[in-house]
Amino acid sequence: MGGGSGDAMEVAALARDARGRGRGGSPPGGLREKSPPERKVYMDYNATTPLEPEVIRVMTEAMREAWGNPSSPYPAGQKAKDIITASREAVARMLGGKPQDIVFTSGGTESNNLVIHSAVKHFQETQGPKGDLGEQQSPGEGARPHIVTCTVEHDSIRLPLEHLVEEQVAEVTFVPVSKVSGQAEVDDILAAVRPTTCLVTIMLANNETGVVMPVSEISQRVKALNQRRASLRLPRVLVHTDAAQVLGKRRVDVDDLGVDFLTIVGHKFYGPRIGALYVRGLGKLTPLYPMLFGGGQERNFRPGTENTPMIAGLGKAAELVTENCEAYEAHMRDVRDYLEERLEAEFGRKRIHLNSCFPGAERLSNTCNFSIRGPQLQGCLVLAQCQTLLASVGASCHSDHGDRPSPVLLSCGVPFDVARNALRLSVGRSTTRADVDLAVQDLKQAVARLEGQT
């Protein structure tokens, strides 16, 4: 779910530069500010975020003082164990959950794969050759677990599911999102459920459009459905949401959401590149089957000697979200709304198409997906001409099909010629209105250069 460490260092440097400009101060250490042509404006916070200074501090302290093995009885080991316990409590607090329901992982990709693996494994163990599928279904021995998801999920959901289908291990329904709301509609998700369904996995918000999905309503409907399924001796449907894009941008509460699993990704909320998985009533109410086997850490659900400094950083990042989430959200919304105002003012309302504004659908406070209409203005080409703005397009840019539109935007009903011009700008905690002005001016110059080539 993240890039390399070099990317993180560059982003951190850019964020420090942005914070310095926001305060009107000089960079630390007496270094001269870069000349304006070299200044960069980072607006790709949905891809990754820099570490908060407080996060760096606790990670550094843990490296220096808590180097011991958390399973060891001597002081350095016990200090490491205490840090891990405190971080687990901080992550749980951020979600309104219980510490014992948090499992630390290497990141969002592992958390998502662990959920899918567990749902399939649980179905196989409880509904296998000697299982309980009734005669109205296919025989227990031939029954494959079925999973429901939607067409705009992250690759760490989509690709494992496609792999299970290819291996004939499971069946999957990819429910299209609504072209009106950009959301996976509750009725469509429920209509896809079969007698063999074991998991519904729907992201909490989309990484490209920022559209927030109706996960709470889906959970409520599935819970009611499970009561009826129990009387028919059908397997329980578990509900998972990948909350990678939401944490740190709006308040998340697992009881409000009603989910069984929730994926946590540190580097999306100014933490390190590890993650965690929330599992409601871990091992009691909700099954979790390990993919790894080893020394018994994380109560055997995710063995391997704990990465204490990274876990310390995740805990501090979670603590900052718990304390400041509303302020973060309000600031990012103000800057994002100003960005959209400036785009429409500079290019004209008819020329700017906001790809992520859907009637009746909520959107993340920091995300602006838009297209500048014009035959030569494919997103990749525009970004390549930008000298200040660092952002991304809706889909990966490949040399052999650089103007291929984002499948997510096409799924949401954005027209082909508009979707291929898409740019995703996502602002962060330190992004300023002055940054917006620089970025919009850079885009205007990039467009002028491209149109001068025709």
Place of tokens 């494994």: 121
- Residue 316 has a CB neighbour count (10 Å cut-off) of 25
In this structure, what token pair is assigned to residue 348? 């004209």
Torsion angle (degrees, nearest 10) of CA 432, 94, 102, 68: 70
Place of tokens 């964020």: 15
Buried b / exposed e across 323-342, counting CB within 10 Å, b at 16+?
eebeebbebbbebbebbbeb
For residues 314 and 203, give the distance between their C-alpha atoms in angstroms, rounded to a whole number.
21
For residues 328 and 341, give the distance between their C-alpha atoms in angstroms, rounded to a whole number.
20
Cβ-proximal residues to 45 (8 Å cutoff; 6+ apart), any chain:
366, 426, 427, 428, 431
Closest CA to 147 of 121, 124, 174: 174
Radius of gyration of the chain (CA): 23
Interaxial angle between packed helices 308-347 and 433-452, expressed in degrees from 0 to 180 and rounded to the nearest 10: 60
Length of the chain: 454
Burial of 262: CB neighbours in 10 Å, binned 0-12, 13-18, 19+: buried
Catalytic residues: 397
